[in-house]
Amino acid sequence: MTAFKPSKILGTAALASLLIALPALGQDAEIVEEAVTETLSEGVSADVVFILNSFIMILGGILVMWMAAGFSMLEAGLVRKKNVSMQLVKNVGLFSLAAIAYYLIGYNLMYPLGNWTIGSDETGGYVGAFGIAILEAVGITADGADDFGYAATSSDFFFQVMFCATTASIVSGTLAERIKLVPFMIFVFVLTAFIYPIQASWKWGGGFLDAMGFLDFAGSTVVHSVGGWAALAGAILLGARAGKFNPDGTVNPMPGSNMALATLGTFILWMGWFGFNGASQLAMGSVGDVADVGRIMANTNAGAAGGALAAMILTTMIYKKTDLTFVLNGALAGLVAVTAEPLTPGLGTAAIIGAVGGVIVVVTVPLLDKLKIDDVVGAIPVHLFAGIWGTIAVIFTNPDANLGAQLLSIVVVGVFVFVASFIVWAILKATMGLRPSEDDEALGLDKAEIGVEAYPEF
């Protein structure tokens, strides 16, 4: 995400000519006239900048909220019929819980605004500040704004809370069909209240990774890989679905129950990603910012297209069939890959970055199977592996990036999130248990825990 640049408020040239012209007042009215008109016709007032910056984040928040519906449909489509209602409850529940956890704890852990609980601005912080999120009062004027040079706090909170929820959505898919609702929800609370915000503050809160020069525009690492690491830790401790892997090493395919829903979910995510990446410009109050938002949109689309096509071609070549699930995950991997840097690439480069993401999915899904890690929807290849790729790929198009900072940040975030998640999952496993009984798993979680079948008449 890019910081707001106050120098853009008024066209420098116009302002300069105004300053020159005004002392001449009375001598040459025409110069004044010209200067005033030029300034009027070129500048963007600070109020308008504030309004447009706030607005693009509000719009972004709406679109990223919509991604929760996308994950929900994608996952409902990729699980078996008997676990669909559970997956839907989990998705509505995690999104709701993330909203509360981020309000109560996460937001200030992530954006400590100088008040780091551990560390400091000088030394680089490690844990943000504790305190609930408080929005600006109703009907503020410029003087009452928390950060008039940026945007309304409400718009910032609304946008960021959605990113936090996205992380939890990623976890949900991997662990489908064999986790109990209550431990899952408890993990979501810890993830969205603590794990996600703390590591996000290292980059977006101005912490030590940011100070080191780590670049991650909209969160290939900060959001997507975090969801992936948390999911991976859970998948290892949880184990595979009953019957997924045979003792002889072969895999029993457990095809998703509704490909139309899965495709709808992918399109929803694709659409929502325009908010995810585009609004991460965090500014739309200047010519350059709106043109950049447009670039990001076009590049995001190109990345998704590249990922989908690459997966489509590769899967057709390997399997002689054009596996729809790979095409969908290819598009998503393309989106994840282009998320770390959707601004600086050209359209062709963005498509290629996305295409590599698509290839990664096709290659690594069988790899996870070999490791007997059961990732029901393919979230680890899509969000973790393509997220790592995208984070590295920043160095190809952004001259400010350096490979060292990118790699170190990938490792630091990865170790922190994986270890923290593993500990939480392990505690939950040891105390209340993560898995339903074998009977409940065989029966389906909809009957066992939800009491509402998704398709009772079918």
* Residues in 145-164 that interact with a second copy by CB under 8 A: 145, 148, 152-158, 161
Residue in 74, 97, 237, 392 binding a second copy, rule: CB under 8 A: 97
For the chain, state the CA radius of gyration: 24
**95 near a second copy, rule: CB under 8 A:** yes
Site for a second copy in 175-194 (CB under 8 A): 181
Residue in 108, 257, 349, 406 binding a second copy, rule: CB under 8 A: 257
Q: How far is the CB of 193 from a second copy (least distance, A)?
A: 14
What distance in Å separates the CA atoms of residue 301 and residue 283, rounded to the nearest whole number?
20
Residue in 1, 17, 96, 147 binding a second copy, rule: CB under 8 A: 96
Residue in 179, 268, 379, 386 binding a second copy, rule: CB under 8 A: 268
Q: What HEC string does 65-134 produce?
A: HHHHHHHHHHHHHHCCHHHHHHHHHHHHHHHHHHHHHHHHHHHHHHCCCCCCCEEECCCEEEECCCCCCC
Site for a second copy in 403-432 (CB under 8 A): none
What ranges make up the beta strands (E) of 225-321? none
Measure Cα distances from 147 to 98, 122, 223 in Å. Answer: 25, 21, 25
- The token pair at 403 is 């490979």
Closest to a second copy by CB, 290 vs 426, is 290
Residue in 3, 16, 47, 430 binding a second copy, rule: CB under 8 A: 47
| Three-state DSSP state, 245 | strand
Listed ranges 35-43, 120-128, 418-426, 433-441: which one lies at the site for a second copy (CB under 8 A): 35-43
Beta-carbon contacts of residue 456 (< 8 Å; ≥ 6 apart)? none
Beta-carbon contacts of residue 33 (< 8 Å; ≥ 6 apart)? none
- What is the distance in angstroms between the CA of the first residue and the CA of the last residue of the chain? 47
Q: How far is the CB of 13 from a second copy (least distance, A)?
A: 8
Site for a second copy in 284-323 (CB under 8 A): 284-295, 297-298, 301-302, 304-306, 308-309, 312, 319, 321-323
Listed ranges 90-98, 115-123, 239-247, 378-386: which one lies at the site for a second copy (CB under 8 A): 90-98
What distance in Å separates the CA atoms of residue 78 and residue 84, rounded to the nearest whole number?
9
Within a 13 Å sphere around the CA of 336, how many CA atoms are in the beta-carbon half?
A: 36
Residue in 138, 246, 250, 439 binding a second copy, rule: CB under 8 A: 138
**439 near a second copy, rule: CB under 8 A:** no
Distance, CA of 271 to chain centre: 13
Q: How far is the CB of 373 from a second copy (least distance, A)?
A: 21
Measure Cα distances from 40 to 8, 27, 227 in Å. Answer: 14, 22, 47
What distance in Å separates the CA atoms of residue 179 and residue 193, rounded to the nearest whole number?
21
**26 near a second copy, rule: CB under 8 A:** yes
**374 near a second copy, rule: CB under 8 A:** no
Site for a second copy in 106-135 (CB under 8 A): 132-135
Q: How far is the CB of 339 from a second copy (least distance, A)?
A: 17
Q: How far is the CB of 181 from a second copy (least distance, A)?
A: 6
Within a 13 Å sphere around the CA of 451, how many CA atoms are in the beta-carbon half?
A: 0
Nearest CA to 43 among 35, 33, 32, 55? 35
**19 near a second copy, rule: CB under 8 A:** yes
Site for a second copy in 316-355 (CB under 8 A): 319, 321-325, 327-328, 331, 343-344, 346-348, 351
Site for a second copy in 55-84 (CB under 8 A): 55, 57-59, 61-63, 65-66, 68-69, 72-73, 76-77, 80-81, 84
Residue in 119, 121, 127, 140 binding a second copy, rule: CB under 8 A: 140
CA torsion, points 129, 133, 136, 138, in degrees to nearest 10? -160
- The token pair at 144 is 């009452």
Size of the site for a second copy (CB under 8 A): 145
Residue in 122, 142, 248, 249 binding a second copy, rule: CB under 8 A: 142
Beta-carbon contacts of residue 60 (< 8 Å; ≥ 6 apart)? 159, 162, 275, 276, 278, 279, 280
Residue in 36, 186, 236, 443 binding a second copy, rule: CB under 8 A: 36
**243 near a second copy, rule: CB under 8 A:** no
